Structures are given as structure tokens and as C-alpha cells.
Amino acid sequence: MSATDGTVSLEQLLRITEGIRNNVDQVVKGKEQVVTTALVVMLSGGHLLLEDVPGVGKTMLSKALARSIDASVHRIQFTPDLMPSDVTGISVFDPETRRFEFRPGPVFAHLVIADEINRASPKTQSALLECMEEHQVTVDDTTYPLGSPFMVVATQNPVEMEGTFSLPEAQRDRFTARISMGYPDPSAEVAMLAAHTGHGGVSPLDTLQPVTDVAQMRALITTVAQVHVSDAVRHYAVALAHATRVSPHLALGASPRATIQLVRSAQALAALRGRSFVLPDDVRDLVGTVLSHRLVLAPGAHTTGTSVASVLEEVLRTVAVPTPAPTTAAPGTSSPATGDPTRA
């Protein structure tokens, strides 16, 4: 891979993502797996949903990611009275020109932080549907393209909490992955206290410097898109998705969009692991993160103790994992350790 075709080397990718990890670690301590998932979503060109109780660092993580990229960043605070036009923009009549002029909303940015997205009504939530899927905004029969790359990082409180609206299935399906922050362990929380108290009241977030820019992010995404996916791995991803669609415990299984995003995420995870090809383990490791928020349990499933997590565990147990392709090494010699063992 070379810069001449709009890509970067895997070594460069790992160096840049390590810089982003270090930035986030200065603000949110002890969340290595969460940061890895955020990087997977970013490198796959997707959108990220952070769900957890208030105060565990969802917004801080979003801002740390945003500060790590020299790009346009807008934050939208979702509230019950927020209107769709407050997100996408609005056409305003100019009496001098006697024409309507479009004034872009905060969604016109490379990275959009949708804070507490489920506090807004479903009507306002739907303003993001076209943006997230088609990277464009249509207002008054005119379509306006969004920048590239374009990523939405949304935070939401659990639906059991007051003042929240459940995200519709169509909205959830547009998020590549959903992760929960969880409470930090005591040692990480002590380190977080040390970072956020003292120092003259200066937040570690204010000292973060960008480690990459828009052009380089586009190159990173292009590089990840070229990570090799064998036919065996593609068939495995489809088999996993199909198993959720026929499961008697689910009323709604994984969509074809979910399958695409699962494979794209596996490409990003493989790149972060230093490989130019995807293994079945890359797919398996992302099944829960990429699929769980899209699935809906069948009526009555709760009464038997069934959960989405347990259904996915059963799917992973029952769907056969592709076996490595036979080596072509000559008798008495060892085959190379590198290369895609499932390459078709």
C-alpha cells in the first residue's frame, strides 16, 4: 500500500491510531477495549453509539476523539424541544434578494457529536437518517452533500431513565456499533481524579493536540477498505447474520446492512491488529458489538431468561467457523507464517 493510491501503510495506520489512543487515555482512563471499538468504527467509516448511565465519560470520549482529528467538529445537545431543522439547517427568506437561502445546521461537519440523542423526540432523531446513510441532507427539495469523512458519535442514556425516547429500529441499524462505557475500576478512577483535579483547573481535554487530519483520515479509511476479505469469511459473516434471522428467540434479526458493517468493522480490526487480511476471529470478536443493538427479542423471550447476548452466544456456537485453507508448502518444508489462511 502506498500514498500514491490514497492509502497509507499499516505501520503508519498503527502509529496514528496509537496517537489517538494516547489522547483518549489522557481523558478517559482504563477503557482500552472501548477505545479500540471507537477506532474500528472510525476506520470503517461508520457511526458509533455510546450507551450508559450519565457521568461515566461518554461525552468526554467523544470530545477526545474529535480533538484528535484536525477536522470540523460540531456538538448537538439533543433535548425534547429540539427540531429537525435545528440539526439539518433551514431555508431563510432574504428580503434583499427575495430568495430563500439555506443556512446549514450543525450536522455539516466531519464529526458530529449527538449528545443524549434519545432525549429528543423520534421526529428529531429521524433528521439523522439520511445524513448517516447517504451522507447528504435534503431540505426543500434541494440535496446538500456532507463532508468526507463523516461520522456521528452519539451518546444516550438507558431507556429506563426519565426523559428518554427509544431509538427506532431504523435509527439503531445505522449505527455500526453500540458500546457501553461502564464504571472505571478503582485504580483507573484514581488516575482519572489525578488528571481532572488540580493543574490550575485545566482539563486534560484542553491540552489535547490533533494527531491526524481530514486528508489522512480519508487515507486511513481507504487503506482499511483494501484489507483482504476471503470468500470463506464473507460466507461466515452471512451465515452468522442468517442465523439471527431464523432464530425462534428473535423477532428481528440482523439486516444486510448489519452484515456489511460487520465485515467492514472486521477489516478495521484486522488492520489494527497489524494484518492486511481478515480472519474469522476478527468477525467473531465484533458480533456482539455490531449486531446486538439491531436485534429484537421475540415476545415472551424475557420470561424464559433469554437475552440478546445469549442468543448471539448460541449463534456463535452453532455456526461453523471456516477452516484454514490447505498449505501449498512442499513436503519437508514449513509454510510461511504470514498470509491469509482462509484466502479463497
pLDDT of residue 2: 44
Question: Which pLDDT tens digit goes with each residue over 3-12?
Answer: 456 889 999 9
Which residue matches cell numbers 415476545? 299
pLDDT of residue 305: 83
More confident residue, 166 or 297: 297
Counting Cβ atoms within 10 Å, is residue 54 exposed (0-12), middle (13-18) or buried (19+)?
Answer: exposed
Pairing of strands 99-104, 69-70: unpaired
pLDDT at residue 308 greater than cutoff 90: yes
C-alpha Rg value of the chain to the nearest Å: 22
pLDDT of residue 162: 58
pLDDT band at 333 (very low <50, low <70, confident <90, very high): very low
Distance CA 312, CA 111 (A): 31
pLDDT at residue 331 greater than cutoff 50: no
User: What share of the chain has pLDDT > 70, as a percent?
Assistant: 89
Q: Are 92 and 133 in contact (CB under 8 A)?
A: no
User: What share of the chain has pLDDT > 90, as a percent?
Assistant: 57
pLDDT at residue 274 greater than cutoff 80: yes
Classify each residue of 310-334 as buried b or exposed e, where b means 16 or more C-beta atoms within 10 Å of its C-beta.
ebbeebeeebeebeeeeeeeeeeee
What is the average pLDDT across 217-238? 96
Question: Which pLDDT tens digit goes with each residue over 52-75?
Answer: 777 777 888 888 888 899 888 899
CATH topology of domain 227-323: Helicase, Ruva Protein; domain 3 (1.10.8)
Which residue matches cell numbers 459473516? 237
Read off the amino acid at residue 79.
Answer: T
pLDDT of residue 328: 42
pLDDT at residue 205 greater than cutoff 70: yes
pLDDT at residue 335 greater than cutoff 50: no
Q: How many CB atoms lie within 10 A of CB 335?
A: 12
pLDDT of residue 207: 84
Q: Are 62 and 34 in contact (CB under 8 A)?
A: no
More confident residue, 181 or 138: 138
Question: Which pLDDT tens digit goes with each residue over 34-46?
Answer: 899 999 999 999 9
- Provide the sign of the torsion angle of the four alpha carbons 132, 309, 164, 252, taken in this order: positive
What are the sequence ranges of the domains in the chain?
Answer: 11-211, 227-323
pLDDT band at 326 (very low <50, low <70, confident <90, very high): low
pLDDT of residue 325: 62
CATH topology of domain 11-211: Rossmann fold (3.40.50)
Q: Of 5, 44, 31, which Cα lies nearest the Cα of 217?
A: 44
Read off the amino acid at residue 97.
Answer: T
